[in-house]
Structure 1
Amino acid sequence: MCWLLAYLMIAFAATMWGLIGFFVKGLSEIGFSAMEIVTIRVGTAAIMLLIVGLSFFRTRLKIKLRDVPLFIGTGLFSIVFFNWCYFTAIDRMNIPVAAALLYTSPAFVITLSVLFLKEKINLRKLLAVGGTILGSALVAEITLTQSSSFSTSSIFIGLGAGLGYALYSIFGKVALQSYHPFTLTFYTFLTAALFLIPSFIGKPNVNLLIQQDVFLYAVGLGLVPTVLAYFAYSWGLEKVESSRAAIIATVEPVAATILGVMVYLEKISFIQGMGIVLILASVTLVNLPKGKYLI
């Protein structure tokens, strides 16, 4: 039953990540740049996590100096790099396409997991990765056919988001061998915040943070697709293989597409619907129990 809860927590995290476009679009329309939005995200998350940590997880706030590189890996190489790439992709393209490129991440995770975490690879995982990538491409197909073509740099930035996202599963899996999921989540965002906030202080847009709509977007961005999502994902990652967790998390494009349809009135085609079905089928495939007729 514990493994089932872990899978549900990862799926919950992915659903929360799928809502991120709402907050990003809102802050972008107000005038914040991609990196400023990343700073707002990690800054508000770090403050929230510090309050929670001092209130409920004091014993989980201690780390060893030799493990700092792990949190630099999750905080800078993953969170900062991934967020900048993803938010820039959303701004240059749109939510479904950016999410589709982001979810090339299972391929990166499986490759890195085999190389560095010695996880086993099998045909079922490969089929699931292929299914999620193809499904994500189908989810984005409607936008690709209705919009002007995207530049090569935009595509590479979107793929960079996939790589950066993958690195959280790799560094995080190693860190979770020694630390609680809260510790991983807190120091990930604290590291990212300490790196980004100094460059944000003094900029004209800082004054906008006191506006009610900006404040609400900032709190929502820091809480829903960040604190809640990353804690849930870290908790699940502690109990599930990195490669398997990355495949489960590909339900995010489904949530992102639903957000686009419900909030931004983006149309959904038959092909997009097939992409959603393919993603969910791939997630189901990789999580079916081993049996006589399963690969």
Structure 2
Amino acid sequence: MNGKVAIVMVLVAAMLWGTTGTMQTLLPEGVHPVAVGTARLAVGGIALFIIVLFVGKLNLKSWPIKPTILAALSMAAYQPFFFTAVTMTGVAIGTVVAIGSAPILSGLMEWLIWKRRPIRAWWLSTFLAIVGCLLLFLNQSSVYVDPLGLLLALGAGLSFAIYTIVSKDLVKSYSSISVVAVVFTLSAILLSPLLFVYDMTWITELRGAAVSLHLGLIATALAYFMFAKGLVHVPSSTAVTLSLAEPLTAAFLGVFIVGEELSFISWIGVSMLLLGIGFLIKGTEKETPRMSEVNRV
């Protein structure tokens, strides 16, 4: 797989994540978002584990325990952090802080802790994408800032950044399907007690079951598998910034499927997101040959 295909896989993964909001509008009223996130991980984790067993890709011999647990904890923590933050401080602030902080935190950790400096195009493209995300979401609803909600949103951004960086190291040595299957199965086990905390009767209804299957199989299992495959050839900081295609997809689905309207400011945000992602793609394509030369040396 070359760099271009890897970039496409990361973008498609982000676009699949972007369908979650639209799908959740189809759920019965009163379903708690944390319950949806827990069901999503459970369905996705079980499906991935069954697939990896069926194709015979699971080999736990000499499997690295510590990074796997760290990745699983990060993914498990992201669900309650993000959904609780959105509940406490609103969709606009919660989404902007969680999704917008992830690229910054990923780039800083990759640089300061893992000693891998982000590519040059990352800096400007990340700035453009985050500002675009800010304009897109902050104009959607009234702004209410809750300090604890902000802290939880930052926790969600940090969780996703850690998951991405650790997963990139794992997929260097093990197959992407195996890594995603093991990590998401462990994450589902960690969150399983929440299945007894929230009302889950909605999942027995036809509409609830259909949404759960989409969220688990398509927006989780398939999406994170493609994301992990892309991580093999894309820097983790770049992958997290490219994942900002998620809110972009959600915005377009909201307009064309749900019937929402975007203001002029929101369309400026969409344009900046597209510009930032496009600039990063171009920069990554130019940087890949140079990085390959450095690796050979």
TM-score w.r.t. length of structure 1? 0.87
Residue identity matched to 1:130: F
Aligned to 1:117: 114
CA distance in 2 between partners of 1:9 and 1:274 (Å): 26
Aligned to 2:221: 227
Aligned residue pairs, count: 284
CA distance in 2 between partners of 1:176 and 1:36 (Å): 29
User: Are 1:38 and 2:32 an aligned pair?
Assistant: no
User: Are 1:281 and 2:268 an aligned pair?
Assistant: no
* Structure 2: runs of 5 or more not aligned: 288-297
Aligned to 1:132: 129
Residue identity matched to 2:178: T
CA distance in 2 between partners of 1:89 and 1:220 (Å): 24
- Name the % identity: 26
| RMSD over equivalenced CA pairs, Å | 2.3
Deviations 1:14-66 (A, max 9, x none): 10111111234444x5433333222201110122112212222x1x2122466
After TM superposition, the structure 1 = structure 2 runs for residues 182-197 of structure 1, keeping only pairs within 5 Å, are: 182-197=177-192
CA distance in 2 between partners of 1:85 and 1:228 (Å): 23
CA distance in 2 between partners of 1:94 and 1:11 (Å): 26
Confirm or deny: 8 A CA contact 1:73 1:171 kept in the other structure: yes
CA distance in 1 between partners of 2:207 and 2:166 (Å): 35
After TM superposition, the structure 1 = structure 2 runs for residues 70-219 of structure 1, keeping only pairs within 5 Å, are: 70-77=67-74, 79-92=75-88, 97-101=93-97, 102-121=99-118, 123-143=120-140, 146-201=141-196, 205-219=199-213
1:218–1:120 distance in 2 versus 1, CA, 3 Å = same
Deviations 1:167-222 (A, max 9, x none): 11111011112111101110111001111214424x57244422212211211110
TM-score w.r.t. length of structure 2? 0.86
- How far apart are 1:261 and its partner, in Å? 2.4
Confirm or deny: 8 A CA contact 1:141 1:271 kept in the other structure: no
1:259–1:267 distance in 2 versus 1, CA, 3 Å = same
* Structure 1: runs of 5 or more not aligned: none
Aligned to 2:292: none
